[in-house]
């Protein structure tokens, strides 16, 4: 009994931390740019593919094994560096200030393009890169055995969330971003370079998506179609927590992670739609999510 609860809790926490890293990027980009980025899932997949490419190269070089983490970090960074100028500068910039739904549709189009770009670059085959998963060994808890790498993901999620939150609330540049979130026009008048803030924010979002992708690569088989589930799951998290809220993303990821882990162990039939139930339920009782403040109505 206790083991079962612990299993559900740990599985849920691992799943939630993965989900959080993806969703926090999505919610941050929405907070700053007011764009609900469907292509976020595509960037995630690119991150996974690039890790799947870099990790084998790393092992052929024969460097110390622990540095593979840095290689994976680097692969995520590379994806963000390539994708940000193309997406933000090249495309999304044309649509700022337009109808939200129109922009969602543009990101949907970019998502479709990214799907085929993955196929063009990496083909239809699956990649398995499970080597990094072994570097941290395992942890025994009573009768349970957990892979250290999986547990380290929880730490990574906490680290990402804390860094983002502290940067936003405690540093000068973070406060500038908060000002832009609050009112881009007035911050522009005060001398803030809004385009730069938007670019930086999009970069952070893309990096977080790619990071989640590259650190998940060792856990899964990287293949065509891995981005689809990510899009909807991270949407559910963001909707539950409230669009644009970082604490909201934490709670949303935890709710969905735990609910899903409980379902996997108790009612496997419900696994597929439990998160939509969570999302629909939350929207019915708290339409704007958990952490959405009051907003002035325009008359």
Residues that bind other proteins (CB under 8 A): 36, 91, 94-95, 98, 100-102, 104-106, 108-113, 115-117, 119-120, 228, 231-232, 235-236, 239, 243, 269, 272-273, 276-277, 279-280, 283-284, 287-288, 297-299
Least distance in angstroms from the C-beta of 273 to other proteins = 3
State how far the Cα of 275 lies from the Cα of 272, in Å rounded to an integer: 7
Question: Of 94 and 196, which has the nearer Cβ to other proteins?
Answer: 94
Question: Of 16 and 239, which has the nearer Cβ to other proteins?
Answer: 239
Largest CA distance in the chain: 66
Least distance in angstroms from the C-beta of 253 to other proteins = 17
Question: Of 1 and 120, which has the nearer Cβ to other proteins?
Answer: 120
First-to-final CA distance of the chain:
56
Question: Of 144 and 280, which has the nearer Cβ to other proteins?
Answer: 280
Determine how many CB atoms are found less than 10 A away from the CB of residue 83.
Answer: 23
Least distance in angstroms from the C-beta of 24 to other proteins = 18
Question: Of 25 and 244, which has the nearer Cβ to other proteins?
Answer: 244
Question: Which alpha helices (DSSP H) does the chain contain, by range?
Answer: 2-33, 40-61, 68-84, 100-122, 148-170, 172-182, 184-189, 194-216, 226-241, 246-266, 274-285
Least distance in angstroms from the C-beta of 297 to other proteins = 7
Determine how many CB atoms are found less than 10 A away from the CB of residue 174.
Answer: 15
Question: Of 10 and 24, which has the nearer Cβ to other proteins?
Answer: 24
**Per-residue H/E/C for 54-92:** HHHHHHHHCCCHHHHHHHHHHHHHHHHHHHHHHHHHHHH
State how far the Cα of 104 lies from the Cα of 101, in Å rounded to an integer: 5
Q: Which residues contact 214 (CB under 8 A, 6 or more apart)?
A: 47, 48, 50, 51, 72, 73, 75, 76, 79
Least distance in angstroms from the C-beta of 240 to other proteins = 10
Least distance in angstroms from the C-beta of 283 to other proteins = 5
Are the beta carbons of 57 and 194 closer than 8 angstroms?
Answer: no
């Amino acid at each position: 009994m206790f083991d079962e609860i612990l299993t559900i809790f740990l599985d849920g926490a691992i799943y939630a931390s993965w989900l959080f890293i993806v969703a926090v990027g999505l919610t941050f980009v929405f907070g700053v740019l007011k764009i609900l980025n469907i292509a976020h899932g595509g960037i995630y997949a690119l991150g996974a593919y690039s890790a799947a490419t870099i990790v084998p190269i790393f092992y052929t070089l024969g460097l110390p094994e622990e540095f593979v983490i840095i290689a994976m970090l680097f692969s995520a960074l590379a994806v963000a560096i390539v994708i940000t100028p193309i997406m933000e500068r090249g495309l999304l910039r044309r649509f700022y200030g337009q109808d939200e739904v129109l922009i969602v549709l543009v990101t949907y189009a970019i998502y479709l393009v990214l799907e085929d770009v993955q196929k063009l670059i990496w083909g239809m085959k699956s990649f398995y890169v499970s080597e990094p998963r072994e570097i941290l060994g395992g942890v025994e808890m009573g009768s349970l055995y957990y892979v250290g790498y999986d547990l380290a993901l929880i730490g990574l999620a906490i680290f990402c969330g804390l860094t983002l939150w502290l940067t936003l609330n405690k540093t000068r540049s973070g406060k500038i971003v908060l000002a832009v979130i609050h009112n881009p026009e007035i911050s522009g008048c005060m001398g803030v370079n809004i385009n730069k803030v938007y670019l930086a924010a999009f970069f952070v979002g893309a990096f977080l998506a790619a990071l989640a992708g590259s650190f998940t690569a060792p856990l899964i088989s990287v293949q065509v179609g891995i981005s689809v589930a990510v899009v909807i799951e991270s949407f559910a998290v963001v909707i539950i927590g409230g669009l644009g809220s970082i604490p909201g993303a934490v709670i949303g990821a935890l709710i969905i992670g735990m609910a899903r882990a409980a379902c996997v162990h108790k009612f496997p039939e419900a696994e597929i739609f439990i998160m939509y139930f969570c999302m629909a339920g939350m929207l019915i009782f708290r339409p704007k999510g958990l952490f959405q403040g009051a907003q002035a109505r325009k008359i």
